[in-house]
Amino acid sequence: MLAGEKAAMWVAAGIVVSVGLFTLYLESNTTLKSDSGEQNFAVPGPGLIPKGINPDALPDAQGHGATLLTIYCVQCHDLPTPTMHTAEEWHAVLTRMDGHIQKRRGGMMSRVAMPSKKDWQDLHNYLAEHGQTPLDPSAYDDLDSPEGQAFQAACSRCHAAPDPSQHLASEWPRIVLRMKYNMSDASKDTLDTATTEQIVSYLQKHSRQP
């Protein structure tokens, strides 16, 4: 065998091994678990993080907070919408993300741009300001209705149930449809047509007036 052919074989073998190791790394680090074994943060992987949104659709899309979100978050997963979580939930999510990054600063994470302390705080502030407004049960007297129960049961499977008055009636069908896609991506049982109509009906009934 010629020296050039032998070198080419070694290069090809190196590529195969590298790809295999990279695949194993991703599979073994798809989810992180706490000491108790409870899953508490999902890193990139199919069905774990909802489909991202267009950067132009972010609240205050040209502002500092939205810019930080598009710079740092998309390094590891799709761009999240701030309304995916409440302010309290975002605090817990960002705390877990920070811990994940700090524990894995070597290897694959060495190529990830690290937010400064100020950037972390600005991200917290942006997501808290534009996060989902949680449902106040005392403000609604029909939560025990079939529509109200369907709404609470479906939404609380992934996050705190939202306040229906934070969106216009015309906005809720699109938001519920996105929720169904996210549930499907997360391998959760999706909503049938009848339940979807119940939820949209309830949300539109109590939606914000234009």
Kindly report, residue by residue over 72-125, the tens digit of the pLDDT.
Answer: 888 888 888 888 888 888 988 888 888 877 777 666 666 778 889 999 999 999
Q: Which residue has the higher pLDDT, 57 or 19?
A: 57
Rg over alpha carbons for the chain, rounded to the nearest Å, is 22
Nearest to 123 by CA among 71, 174, 84, 56: 71
Cα–Cα dist 47/184, whole Å? 8
pLDDT digits (tens, 9 = 90+) for 155-166: 888 888 999 998
Helices (H), the chain: 3-28, 64-72, 87-103, 117-130, 146-155, 172-185, 193-205
For residues 206 and 210, the model is more confident at: 206
pLDDT tops 80 at residue 177: yes
User: 66 with 60: CB under 8 angstroms?
Assistant: yes
